[in-house]
Chains A and B, each alone.
Chain A
């Protein structure tokens, strides 16, 4: 026979009554209150699961409840009766230092694993199982919008445009991946020397880039890099990875958006920037493989990257982590070590 102190509330008014509860070996609860005793079988009452050292509630069949801080007595009673095994398991997990340490390790390892491998692999798998028509839709209005904001018509000569288009065509000719590849020329004072790919397969090159290059081989490297983005479905994968990242970060910090809005935004930005750099590296690899297949020296790629960097000084230090592209130094090093 165990005895514990509790508060009794009838569920009809907020009146609080101090009571004692006797827990019998045969599994009965005997509630002694000033206005008369109550007896219930364990099977007739509902005992809330233990959470830390918060008070436990024992709900009686008629809607009344008892509240007690004597968690240990309740636990011992339930254990003896063989009840609520699953609920007490949770409290065990939450109270043993070893399990908690294990949980910390598993959490850190799985969050890291998810970010590093899980999310990218899942996104890749999902993207490749979607038809290329999805890419068309992703980039459908892209160029029109950019024409309004950034671009004016190209001032490159027809002959030069024609020459570069045929170079571009030789890169994409053998690709049969459902994308409609096309090279476009634009002038933009704001973007300077630049090239980028839309998910549909349209690659845009600025006049400044065409003028910056010292040979067509350099432009082939840049164009192959951009085609690499399209072939590898980077736009769709980025969309999928970024949504997964938001979900992941929200799962971990979501409880308290108000306190940690700032601290939740930071990891999201860092992870998304990391993914962006990974895509750039993958596109670099694609360009390298193409150059190799055409017997073009990879130094052309390194040269144009260096000249692009000189043209547009990069930030140093802290900001690498926030950058969408890997540092040029690192990219060139990767080029030298490749193959």
Chain B
């Protein structure tokens, strides 16, 4: 039958010729010592210019990380200009100040702000991703992001509300639809991305996280009980002893939360990458949960102990591990992607998003 033949033909095209699939690893060549110098100069100039330089700082930081990320001998490049970022930052800063003062002094005004925020949030998210994609390139071809307001409203406002109403039951669905929204509206040049993960996969991750949390909670409870019972109290209770105990238990609790969080982030990152596809090119993400937990933990400790001076080292280390575990399974060669027509995107969206610190993920 003609129809079947045609369907077979397209599917063969979509997945490429199996025999010609080559696995190309991503390479990250950033060095902690080199980045430390860029980072500290960024901070000092930002302080000395009362924050104005932060726009230049951001561009230099992103150029460093993009430029050190390579795929088949070609680096990525961040293209935004500092002035674009500065403009966005000034707008974001103005909104932040007005919001902060008004929410403390005039609660009704803060409510209006809140409403405007809800209406504006989907637009902001779209703008942020469009700006970031538009000003990222590989082999002189830009990435792109084209999401619709209606879908963004459903994903970023509707599903979180549903998650609250269902006491969190809809939360994995929210993260699934969010990833799908982001991946399927992205493209490299004229080539769009597609997403084959299912909501079930996301529910699986969160159910497993729940089990880890419960197991850890039981262990934590046992620990708490053991210490609570075995602490002897002859004479007056030792305050220093009980303070140390509280400190220790708080630390154990933080560790448990960190482990659960590291598991969720790692599993979701693997799930999203392994189900993203572009014209038959797939990704292979092999992040390991124990190693990610170790990285999170040791980075946090190093940063605290060094009073922040090891932040660049922590960042480079994390980025290197992420890219060491990411490969592209290319269906053909990487030479035939085609550029999209030029299109300008203002940066205010991204900077405002940056300022209010939404977690965009991926």
Residues of A within 8 A of B (CB): 7, 9-16, 48-49, 51-55, 57, 63-65, 67, 90, 93-95, 99-100, 103-104, 106-108, 110-111, 114, 134, 137-138, 239, 243, 251-253, 255-260, 262-263, 266-267, 313, 315-319
Contact = CB atoms under 8 A, between A and B. Distances in A.
Contact of B308 (A90, A94, A106, A253): A253
Nearest to B303: A263
Nearest to B302: A263
B189 to A, nearest CB: 7
B276 interface: no
B138 interface: yes
Given A14-B334, A51-B38, A100-B37, A137 B105 contact: yes
B311 interface: yes
A252 B43 contact: yes
Contacts of A9: 139-141
Contacts of B139: 9, 14-16
B266 interface: no
Contact of A315 (B31, B47, B63, B239): B239
| Majority SS at the chain A contact face | helix
B74 A16 contact: yes
A51 B64 contact: yes
Contacts of A239: 104
B239 A313 contact: yes
B299 A260 contact: yes
Contact of A260 (B38, B105, B239, B314): B314
Contacts of B299: 259-260
B50 to A, nearest CB: 10
A93 B357 CA distance: 30
A54 B68 contact: yes
A319 B250 CA distance: 13
Contacts, number: 153
B77 A57 contact: yes
Contacts of B54: 251
Contact of B41 (A94, A256, A263): A94
B280 to A, nearest CB: 15
Given A110-B47, A239-B104, A13 B141 contact: yes
A260 B311 contact: yes
A215 B251 CA distance: 44
Interface in B64-97: 64, 66-68, 73-75, 77
B118 to A, nearest CB: 22
Contacts of B224: none
Nearest to A243: B100
7 contacts: A14-B138, A15-B335, A54-B64, A64-B140, A110-B47, A253-B311, A256-B311
A63 B68 CA distance: 23
Contact of B40 (A107, A137, A243, A315): A107
A137 B247 CA distance: 38
Nearest to B65: A54
B196 interface: no
Interface stretch (B147-155, B161-169, B215-223, B336-344): B336-344
A303 to B, nearest CB: 23
Interface of B: 31, 34-38, 40-41, 43-44, 46-48, 51, 54, 56, 60-61, 63-64, 66-68, 73-75, 77, 100, 104-106, 138-141, 189, 239-240, 243, 247, 254, 258, 296, 299-300, 303-304, 307-309, 311, 314-315, 318, 334-339, 357, 359
A28 B142 CA distance: 28
B106 A316 contact: no
Q: Interface centre among A11, A13, A108, by most B CB within 10 Å? A: A13
A256 B61 CA distance: 11
B230 to A, nearest CB: 22
Contacts of A16: 73-74, 139, 335
Nearest to B335: A15
Contacts of B77: 48, 55, 57
A53 B38 CA distance: 11
A64 B296 CA distance: 41
A256 B315 contact: yes
A138 B38 contact: no
Contacts of B104: 138, 239
Contact of B296 (A63, A111, A259): A259
A89 to B, nearest CB: 11
Nearest to A18: B73
A326 B342 CA distance: 61
B52 to A, nearest CB: 12
Contacts of A93: 41
B338 A318 contact: no
Contacts of A90: 41, 56, 60
A52 to B, nearest CB: 5
Contact of A316 (B240, B337, B357): B240
A14 B337 contact: yes
A138 B40 contact: no
Nearest to B314: A259
A13 B63 contact: no
Contacts of B308: 252-253, 263, 267
A103 B41 contact: yes
B315 A255 contact: yes
B243 A12 contact: no
Contact of B140 (A65, A107, A111, A251): A65
Contact of B43 (A57, A63, A107, A257): A107
A100 B141 CA distance: 35
Nearest to A11: B140
A15 B140 CA distance: 9
